[in-house]
Chain A
């Protein structure tokens, strides 16, 4: 069974631009969670989607948004990029809820210049 895939793996943007990251969960998994990982703040929860609906949301500004499609694939978008948005963005998929077990993708490394 294929694991969680994320595209692209690396991305370089400049301040003020926007970016869209993609995540394909493990086949059959309906829950997708997004996390931001930085050296200073560690791994922080962004939001979770289940059956195309945002079920939980972390404490991030509205510039961070996401969506989930009917095939469970998910995208997250960051608008008006800031230098502090440079991070590893991780996607994790679960059958129903991440509280039981979640599988992480390799992440997308975003650098904002």
Chain B
């Protein structure tokens, strides 16, 4: 049973398009993180959100934490080939992180 469900599971888009990845749960999290993982490497932390309703921007990436702290979204504007990778959300509850199912993004030039 996965605490965090991500959608879509796979996404293939053209360079320059916009996209949104969703991370949903029925559980409340004290904080939520987004990671990007490239083949042959470990995940790299992109952002941590801790407050319900919080929005953080990292260049072309916009992260939002749901008001109830149960869900989050990642929006990428004008995708680039360098954005290709596996995007993972991870929610903290208690003393553990639970990772989402992952969204594999391919940006086609």
- Sorting the interface of chain B by its residue count into under 10, 10 to 19, 20 to 34 or 35 or more gives 20 to 34
Residue of A nearest to B2 (CB): A42
The total number of A-B Cβ pairs within 8 Å is 52
Say whether, besides A98-B97, A100-B48, A43 and B43 are in contact (CB < 8 Å).
yes
Interface SS, B side = strand
Mark A residues whose CB is within 8 Å of B: 4, 33, 35, 42-45, 48, 55-56, 58, 90, 92, 97-107
A98 to B40, CA, bound (A): 22
Interfacial chain A residues near B42, Cβ < 8 Å: 4, 90, 92, 104-107
Inter-subunit contact A45/B41 (CB<8 Å): no
Q: Contacts of A55 on B, CB cut-off 8 Å? A: 95
Are B30 and A42 neighbours in the complex by a CB distance under 8 Å? no
